């Protein structure tokens, strides 16, 4: 939460809105974020997948998003999930470009984006803060 909400737990109303938007993505587009379950225990540890940033200022609004509980950090889940999300997007959706967004000092997220094949596009103001954003384009053989 340090990077998503500046360290504060999200209010219940905000969580309910995230869940509503997630259901809406699946209903309208047939894809969206996936639940991440720990292999072996089945314990919920976060969500990874395609997330529609309705308010993103650019034309490409679908991002690879990854949010995990701290106990799951550093174990490769985010990178594995981001790579799987990109493969899914190229194989199962019409998307030609996927973005990913984080605050500049969230180095772990930036490494995940880079390991997933995404390239830094720049820095801009978004939702009241400065963010960096990365992107990856559909391979030309699959357009």
Instruction: Write the CATH number for 63.
Output: 3.40.630.30
Residues 85-125 have pLDDT tens digits of 999 999 999 999 999 999 999 999 999 999 999 999 999 99
Sequence-distant (6+) residues with CB within 8 A of 131 are 101, 102, 103, 104, 123, 124, 125
43 domain residue, yes or no: yes
4 domain residue, yes or no: no
Do the beta carbons of residue 19 and residue 39 sit within 8 Å? no
Do the beta carbons of residue 102 and residue 138 sit within 8 Å? no
Model pLDDT, residue 10: 62
For residue 142, pLDDT over 70 is answered with no
For residue 1, pLDDT over 50 is answered with no
81 domain residue, yes or no: yes
**What's the domain count of the chain?**
1
Domain span at residue 48 reads 12-142
What is the 8-class DSSP label of residue 75? S
3 domain residue, yes or no: no
1 domain residue, yes or no: no
75 domain residue, yes or no: yes
Model pLDDT, residue 140: 85
What is the 8-class DSSP label of residue 83? H
For residue 12, pLDDT over 80 is answered with no
**5 — pLDDT class (breaks 50, 70, 90):** very low
- What residue has token string 């490769």? 76
């Amino acid at each position: 939460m340090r990077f998503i909400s500046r360290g504060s737990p999200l209010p219940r109303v905000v969580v309910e809105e995230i869940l509503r938007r997630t259901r809406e993505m699946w209903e309208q587009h047939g894809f969206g974020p996936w639940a991440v379950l720990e292999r072996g225990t089945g314990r919920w540890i976060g969500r990874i997948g395609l997330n529609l940033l309705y308010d993103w200022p650019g034309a490409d609004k679908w991002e690879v998003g990854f949010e995990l509980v701290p106990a799951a950090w550093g174990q490769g889940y985010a990178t594995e999930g981001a790579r799987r999300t990109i493969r899914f997007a190229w194989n199962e959706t019409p998307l030609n470009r996927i973005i990913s967004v984080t605050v500049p000092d969230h180095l772990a997220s930036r490494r995940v984006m880079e390991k997933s094949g995404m390239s830094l596009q720049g820095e801009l103001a978004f939702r009241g803060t400065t963010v960096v954003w990365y992107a990856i384009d559909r391979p030309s053989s699959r357009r």
